[in-house]
């Protein structure tokens, strides 16, 4: 069994206190009892109902961006393509999932935009001349959706509270300027 420390908002603490049955009951016991009651109330087929409801609600791209069923994403690799309205690829939301042609896009780290970008890059043969792999692009900046007659960057639709940032480790100077091991001692 593992333990996890979490920070709770004032509203959450107030809700926990409403479920307190006695003075000696810990917060863990309160949350556990409430979640146990909730899971017992849920009918056996509720997972299927939840998936059907999410399919009707649209395709969740991650970080708070949801496409309506039937809505299309447009990939613009170059600024000139965007200005001319000539996209290099498309992806469509169908049944709560994202498809490029007939191929379903599989999520990576809770998001669909980066795997979709890589599928299009594979079709375009967008290979980096220096790395040899796909050109490194921020998918949120290259996918657009058409709303109110104009193209809107999908990255601009993200919920700021849900944007995931990479944590970069600061390199130590000794790591940057490490000397290669020499075969013989002088």
Provide the pLDDT for residue 179. 60
Q: What's the total number of domains in the chain? A: 2
How far is 75 from 137, CA to CA, in rounded Å? 12
Regarding whether 64 and 118 lie in a shared domain, the answer is yes
> Is residue 115 domain-shared with residue 75, that is, in the same domain?
yes
Q: Are residues 28 and 70 in the same domain?
A: no
| Domain assignment present for 46 | no
- DSSP, res 166: P
Q: Which of 79, 80, 90 is nearest to 123 (CA)?
A: 90
- Report the C-alpha gap between 116 and 100 in whole angstroms: 7
Residues 65 and 130 in one domain: yes
Q: Does residue 28 share a domain with residue 60?
A: no
Q: Positive or negative, the Cα torsion across 74, 144, 103, 69?
A: negative
Structure-token pair, residue 104: 């379903």
* Separation CA 60–CA 96 (nearest Å): 7
Do 138 and 64 fall within a single domain?
A: yes
Could you tell me the residue range of the domain that residue 103 belongs to?
Answer: 54-159
Q: Is 123 part of any domain?
A: yes
Residue 173 lies in a domain: no
The C-alpha atoms of residue 31 and residue 130 are separated, in whole angstroms, by 52
The answer to whether residues 150 and 96 belong to one domain is yes
Q: What are phi and psi of 50, to 5 degrees?
A: -65, -45
Q: What pTM does this model have?
A: 0.58
Q: What is the pLDDT along the chain (186 residues), one digit of tens a residue?
A: 667 777 878 877 777 777 777 777 888 888 877 777 776 665 555 554 444 444 445 788 888 888 898 999 999 999 999 999 999 999 999 988 999 999 999 988 777 899 999 999 998 988 888 888 888 888 899 999 998 889 999 988 888 777 766 666 666 655 655 566 665 555
CA distance 14 to 29: 15
Q: Are residues 66 and 14 in the same domain?
A: no
Q: Would 77 be classed as within a structural domain?
A: yes
Give the DSSP letter string of 95-112. TTEEEETTEEPPPBTTBS
The C-alpha atoms of residue 71 and residue 67 are separated, in whole angstroms, by 6
- Enter the tokens of residue 78: 């170059």
CA distances from 151 to 7, 38, 94, 99 (A): 39, 43, 20, 19
Does some domain include residue 32?
A: yes
63 and 92 in a single domain? The answer is yes
Check residue 36 and report its DSSP letter: H
**Do 34 and 105 have their domain in common?**
no
Inside any domain, residue 115: yes
- Co-location of 33 and 61 in the same domain: no
Q: Are 76 and 142 in contact (CB under 8 A)?
A: yes
> Residue 88 falls within a domain, yes or no?
yes
Residue 177, pLDDT score: 57
Query: Is 134 found in the same domain as 66?
Result: yes
């Amino acid at each position: 069994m593992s333990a996890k420390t979490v920070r709770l908002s004032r509203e959450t603490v107030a809700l926990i206190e409403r479920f307190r049955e006695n003075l000696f009951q810990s917060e863990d016991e309160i949350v556990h009892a409430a979640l146990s009651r909730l899971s017992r109330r849920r009918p056996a087929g509720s997972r299927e109902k939840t998936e059907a409801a999410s399919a009707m609600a649209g395709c969740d791209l991650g970080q708070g961006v949801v496409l309506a069923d039937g809505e299309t994403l447009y990939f613009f690799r170059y600024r000139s393509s965007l200005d001319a309205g000539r996209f290099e690829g498309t992806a469509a939301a169908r049944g709560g999932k994202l498809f490029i042609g007939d191929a379903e896009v599989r999520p990576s780290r809770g998001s669909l935009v980066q795997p979709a970008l890589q599928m299009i890059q594979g079709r375009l043969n967008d290979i980096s001349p220096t790395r040899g792999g796909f050109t490194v692009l921020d998918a949120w900046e290259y996918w657009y959706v058409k709303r109110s007659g104009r193209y809107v960057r999908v990255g601009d639709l993200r919920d700021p509270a849900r944007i995931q940032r990479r944590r970069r480790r600061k390199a130590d100077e000794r790591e940057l300027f490490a000397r290669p091991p020499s075969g013989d001692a002088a």
